[in-house]
Amino acid sequence: MPGLIGWLSRKFGCTAGEAWPLLLQAARAGLRVGVSFHVGSQQRNPGAWDRPLGQVAQLARQLAAKGHELAGVNLGGGLPSRHVDPTADIETYSEAIAGSVATHLGPRFGGLMMVEPGRYLVGDAGVIRTEVVQILRRASDPDRRWVFLDVGLFNGLTETLGEAIRYRIQAPGDGSGTGSVVLAGPSCDSADVLYETYQYRLPLDLQVGDHLEILGTGAYTSSYSSVGFNGFPPLTSYYLPATAGSELTS
């Protein structure tokens, strides 16, 4: 909406204090004004929206005191898909957010209310199928196998940078047990290590040529995939019909 003001992080947006004169100036210019904010991607705290909504309410009161109305609020994204770390169900999030909206903006808030549930909607609809291309033991890390995959940081798994997103991984095996691994991508770039700190465990009988399924990769993977970095082609995407039990596969 015209005059929409947002605050996000150091790179974008502004503080609530900085937003106030911008909102007032826009409102005085005859624009319908609103506020957007973002609580962080893959947000696992359902109460994370409460504090910024309190700040939004304060801005709304300041506008009202000047004879203007807050026309809308964009709650941003943050609703999570399912990865290794546990997350609450969507009902828990909706109840927490609705409670904060009612507490801070009142049950009769008439402005436009928006949310951006992209990751929640599409994350779990995607699976990356990857092949094991090498398994090594390193003298510097004798207790773990290094498992190299044919997809890595530059082939769609950018969100593993800093191990920020820990995807669920399915692997074949005969049930003989699992062991700790480091997971790395195929390129020669030293940054192309997916998981080294978090202790993933894969079957002891894992072999070169086996396939792993990386789950919950429907968001920010194929669109992140580089075009020809180190000679690797971008991810090929296959789309299955939206029927019961089907998944979007990247």
Domains located in the chain, CATH noted: 5-116 (3.20.20.10), 123-249 (2.40.37.10)
Token digits for 243? 């029927």
User: Which residue do the tokens 């808030």 mark?
Assistant: 109
DSSP state, residue 197:
E
Round to whole Å and give the CA distance between 178 and 120: 30
Task: Check residue 75 and give its pLDDT.
Answer: 96
Task: Check residue 173 and give its pLDDT.
Answer: 75
Round to whole Å and give the CA distance between 115 and 109: 16
Task: Check residue 174 and give its pLDDT.
Answer: 67
Instruction: Output the CA–CA distances (angstroms, integers) from residue 57 to 40, 62, 79, 100, in the order listed.
Output: 20, 9, 22, 10
Minimal CA–CA distance to 52: which of 4, 90, 100? 100
Per-residue pLDDT of the chain (250 residues; tens, 9 = 90+): 334 445 455 677 888 999 999 999 999 999 999 999 999 889 999 999 999 999 999 999 999 999 999 999 999 999 999 999 989 999 999 999 999 999 999 988 889 999 999 999 999 999 999 999 999 999 999 999 999 999 999 999 999 999 999 999 999 876 779 999 999 999 999 999 999 999 999 999 999 999 999 999 999 999 888 888 888 888 899 988 876 555 444 4
Question: Per this entry, what is the length of the chain?
Answer: 250
Task: Check residue 176 and give its pLDDT.
Answer: 77
Residues whose CB is less than 8 angstroms from the CB of residue 218 and which lie 6 or more positions away in sequence, other chains included:
81, 122, 123, 124, 125, 126, 248, 250
Dihedral (C-alpha) 194, 248, 215, 96: value to the nearest 10 degrees?
A: 110
pTM given for the model:
0.84
Task: Check residue 226 and give its pLDDT.
Answer: 87
Task: Check residue 4 and give its pLDDT.
Answer: 47
Minimal CA–CA distance to 171: which of 145, 197, 206, 198? 206
Round to whole Å and give the CA distance between 224 and 250: 12
Minimal CA–CA distance to 17: which of 5, 27, 29? 5
